[in-house]
Structure 1
Amino acid sequence: MSELEFRRVSVTYGHGRTAHVAVESADLVVRPGTTHGLVGESGSGKSTMARIAVGLTPVSGGSILLDGVDITNRAREARLARRRVQMVFQDPFSALDPRMPIGASIAEGLLATGRYYNRIDRESRVHALLDRVHIDPARAGESPSAFSGGQRQRITIARALAAEPAVLIADEITSALDVSVQGVVLNLLRELQQELDLTMLFISHNLAVVRYVSDEVSVMRAGRIVEHGETSAVLAHPADPYTRELLRSVPVMGEPLELEDA
């Protein structure tokens, strides 16, 4: 199990008068083997946190540590460590190459591990990953267009797992899905996190969903972390006015959230 730590990280886009601060001096620790929820409204900076963790956006200041290794620089050790952080993106329709069979997409992740160069071993592992996310392995040769939105999102999870991550980042992965399909994906994430001892950063604007999957939660507003703690404690007794505003936007928070497979 691994620990992911954001230490005083900042991200600024542009320069001078046109500069925009997306993240400002944010501290966040995702503890080993836990799921940490990061919530906030659109534009709060939460997706930027995901992108800097996997190297898609550079940091302007601060550092990101994976088991004590700073993964924000270009040193070989940092690049190798960063591969152990994988991300599942919000839109399953654009996350997969429409021209590539789903099995080939997953196989790319396997090759990134430096293993599975044997074609037979690679195909066997692809089939095992599809089966683990409840997709028929016999469909590995089909294109993404043959699958529903929920199925595609499960395929993108399989592709992320192919790289054998220690940390999985899920960025708004249920926001484009129907409620019943959301339950399938969320239950799958919980299963995988427990079975694989994954450390997970789960990003969402939906506090009800975060409540269901997260051990701890951080609340982000205008690029800053304004509150954090155990999920049950923060949602039962929010200290920051902004957290209370987010809670009021959820129709029912008094009863435990139940999500069933569909």
Structure 2
Amino acid sequence: MSELELRGVTVRYGHGARAQTAVDAVDLTVRPGTTHGLVGESGSGKSTLARAAVGLVRPTAGQVFLGRVDVTGPSRYARRTRRRVQMVFQDPMSALDPRLPVGLSVAEGLLATGRRTSRADREARVTALLDRVQIDPRRAGDLPGAFSGGQRQRITIARALAAEPEVLVADEITSALDVSVQGVVLNLIRDLQADLALTVLFISHNLAVVRYVSDDVSVMRAGRVVEHGPAERVLADPADPYTRELLRSIPVMGQPLVLADA
């Protein structure tokens, strides 16, 4: 297990007077083996921060650490370490190559480990991963379009797990799914986090979802973290007016229920 720590991370787009700050000097720590919910309205900067955490966006200032390693650095060791942080995106159809069988998409994640394996070993690993996310391994040869949205999202989770990450960044992974399907994916994330001792940064605008999966919560507004702490405390007795506003404006229905398979 590794701690994910962001220190003073700033992300700006553009230059000079036209520069826009998407993330402004954010400090955030995801404790090892826990799920940290990052919540905020659209445009608050949470997805940009997630992309900075995995190296898809280069911070204008600040550092990202996995354990004691600064993964924003240019060294080969920093790049290798950064592979231990994997991301699951909001839209699984965009994240998967529509022309590539899902088994091969999952196998791509194995390449990130840098290990040389035989074809038989790769096929066995893909079978185990698909089974772990409740996808019939016999469908490994099917294209993404043959699956439902919830199934595709679970396939992208399997691909992320193939890289054997220590940290999983999940960016709005249930926002496009029906409520019953959300429950399946959320329970899967909870089970994987517990079984694999993953450190998870979970981004969502849905406070009910964040409450269900998170040990700790940070609330973002206009590129800054305005409140953070244990999930039950932040969501039950928020100190910041913006968090209280979010709680009033977004219905919190309690724990999502698993009603059907996705």
TM (norm. structure 1) is 0.97
Amino acid at match of 2:258: E
Q: Is 1:138 the equivalent of 2:131?
A: no
Structure 2 unpaired stretches of 5+: none
CA contact (8 A) 2:170 2:200 kept: yes
1:33 match: secondary structure: coil
Tell me how far 1:260 sits from its aligned partner: 1.9
Q: Give the equivalent residue in structure 2 for 1:44.
A: 44
More moved, 220-229 vs 71-80: 71-80
Query: What is the SS of the residue equivalent to 1:109?
Result: helix
Instruction: Supply the distance in 1 between the matched residues of 2:241 and 2:91 (Cα, whole angstroms).
Output: 31
Determine if contact 2:8/2:62 at 8 Å carries over to the other structure: yes
Residue 225 of structure 2 is aligned to residue 225 of structure 1: yes
Superposed CA offset, 1:183-236 (max 9, x none): 000000000000000000000001110000000000000000000000000111
The residue type equivalent to 2:257 in the other structure is: L
Residues 38, 203 of structure 1: 8 Å contact kept = yes
Show the 5 A alignment for 1:144-159.
144-159=144-159
Give the superposition deviation at 1:40. 0.3
Q: What residue is the counterpart of 1:76 in the other structure?
A: 76
Cα pair 2:86 2:167 within 8 Å, conserved: yes
Equivalent of 1:259, from 252, 257, 260? Answer: 257
SS at match of 2:21: strand
Aligned to 1:123: 123
Amino acid at match of 1:175: S
Question: d(CA) in 2 for partners of 1:208 and 1:14?
Answer: 35
**Residues 61-100 of structure 1: matches in 2 within 5 Å?**
61-100=61-100
What is the alpha-carbon root mean square deviation over aligned residues? 0.9
1:179 aligns to what? 179
* Structure 1 residues not aligned, in runs of 5+: none
Deviations 1:77-125, CA, capped at 9 Å, x for gaps = 1101100000000001111000000000011111221225200000000
Matched, 1:248 2:243: no
Is the contact between residue 36 and residue 200 of structure 1 (CA under 8 Å) also seen in structure 2?
yes
Q: Is the 8 A contact 1:187 1:261 kept in 2?
A: no
The 1-side partners of 2:256 and 2:169 are apart by 23
CA distance in 2, matches of 1:17, 1:134: 50
Tell me the CA shift for residue 258 of structure 1: 4.1
Partners in 2 of 1:111 and 1:25 — Cα distance? 34
- Contact between 2:207 and 2:252, CA under 8 Å: does it hold in 1? no
Residues 108 and 258 from structure 1, CA distance in 2 versus in 1: closer, same or farther, beyond 3 angstroms? Answer: closer
Partner of 1:7: 7
Please give the per-residue CA displacement for 1:151-198, whole angstroms capped at 9, x wherever unaligned: 000000000000000000000000000011000000000000000000
CA contact (8 A) 2:182 2:256 kept: no
Counterpart Cα distance in 1 of 2:103 and 2:28: 35
Seq. identity, %: 74
Corresponding residue for 1:208? 208
Q: Contact 2:133–2:155 (CA<8 Å) still a contact in 1?
A: yes
Q: Report the count of equivalent residues.
A: 260
| Residues 48-59 of structure 1 aligned to structure 2 (within 5 Å) | 48-59=48-59
C-alpha distance in structure 2 between counterparts of 1:261 and 1:192, whole Å: 20
**2:19 is matched with which residue?**
19
Indicate conservation of the 8 Å contact 1:172/1:204, yes or no.
yes
Letter matched to residue 88 of structure 1: V
Give the structure 1 partner of residue 199 of structure 2. 199
Assess if the C-alpha contact under 8 Å between 1:110 and 1:116 holds in 2. no
